[in-house]
Amino acid sequence: EDQVTQSPEALRLQEGESSSLNCSYTVSGLRGLFWYRQDPGKGPEFLFTLYSAGEEKEKERLKATLTKKESFLHITAPKPEDSATYLCAVPNDYKLSFGAGTTVTVRA
């Protein structure tokens, strides 16, 4: 069965303090890895898809990278509006297996 583990569980950052979130996975055959952002009281919002090792995607202050065993979400010079829970997930035949998420809090 696919397994997805995220670390750390929680991350408290000062505005402008860059950091990285980790998502490690164990799957029988990687068919992609998704990153989502979830705000309180909202559904997960799709951010990125990564398909192969070495691939990188960027959106504003976020950059996602992928290796054969893990993915990183780098947050560069974060702002308070980047505060959210970040989830990674792997697809497998009509379902997503999610990690437990990393809750990021950015203080002004």
- Minimum distance of other proteins from residue 10's CB (angstroms): 11
Touching other proteins, residues 52-81 (CB under 8 A)? none
Tokens for 64, please give them.
């996602």
Sheet holding 19-26, edge to edge: 3-7, 19-26, 70-75, 62-66, 56-59
Residue closest to 32 by CA, chosen among 60, 4, 63: 4
- Minimum distance of other proteins from residue 38's CB (angstroms): 8
Judged by beta carbon, residue 8 or residue 46, the one nearer other proteins is 46
- Minimum distance of other proteins from residue 106's CB (angstroms): 19
Number of residues forming the site for other proteins (CB under 8 A): 24
Among the listed residues 21, 25, 34, 104, the single contact to other proteins using CB under 8 A: 34
Rounded CA separation 106/30 (Å): 32
Binding segment for other proteins (CB under 8 A), chosen from 13-21, 34-42, 54-62, 74-82, is 34-42
- Minimum distance of other proteins from residue 81's CB (angstroms): 18
Measured in whole angstroms, the distance separating CA 88 from the mean position of its chain's CA atoms is 5
Give the pairing type, strands 10-14 and 102-107.
Answer: parallel
